[in-house]
Structure 1
Amino acid sequence: MATIGTDDGWELHIYNSFSLHCDGIAEPPPPSTLSLVLQDCRFDRQTMVAQFSSGASLTVDLSDDGYSGPEAMQLNSPDGTIVIWN
């Protein structure tokens, strides 16, 4: 599991399989906090790809094979709204 948080209170909890790529080389998820700027985010039926500053990208497997539950991802907004991807 990984969590991405923003300075203004948004949190994305990722439960599915994911990979973090930096400078074209796949790296395991970092053990500490990174400070990155989100530049682009794309979805299709199988993946979510978030493109960050410095060329880093996060790819989340949204396929059935990537599922590990309790849901694929959960987005929490500062006002308490929750969005679930299954």
Structure 2
Amino acid sequence: MPREQAFHDPDRLLVDRASEGPHLAFGKGEHFCLGAPIARLETRVGITTWLRRTKEITFDIDPDDVEYLPSFAQHGIVRLPLRFTPA
């Protein structure tokens, strides 16, 4: 299935779009993705390069306004707006 059919606006990074289409996991067992190691390497290189080129990362909201998941069992952040200043 082409990505345009699986996801709305597929070229935007939306980490919360899991409910929008099929998952993007690497599979399991004999069906494990052969491209997983290269995908992990590309991710590591990309994030490392991005952080090296970033001078400062700050909250884009007041830290007291961070919204947490309303769950007793899972303590997580719903949304964390950040501002990235280029180096």
- TM-score w.r.t. the length of structure 2 is 0.28
Higher normalized helix content (fraction of residues):
2
Structure having greater relative contact order (Cα 8 Å, sep ≥ 6): 1
Return the index of the structure with the highest Cα Rg: 2
- TM-score w.r.t. the length of structure 1 is 0.28
Higher normalized strand content (fraction of residues):
1
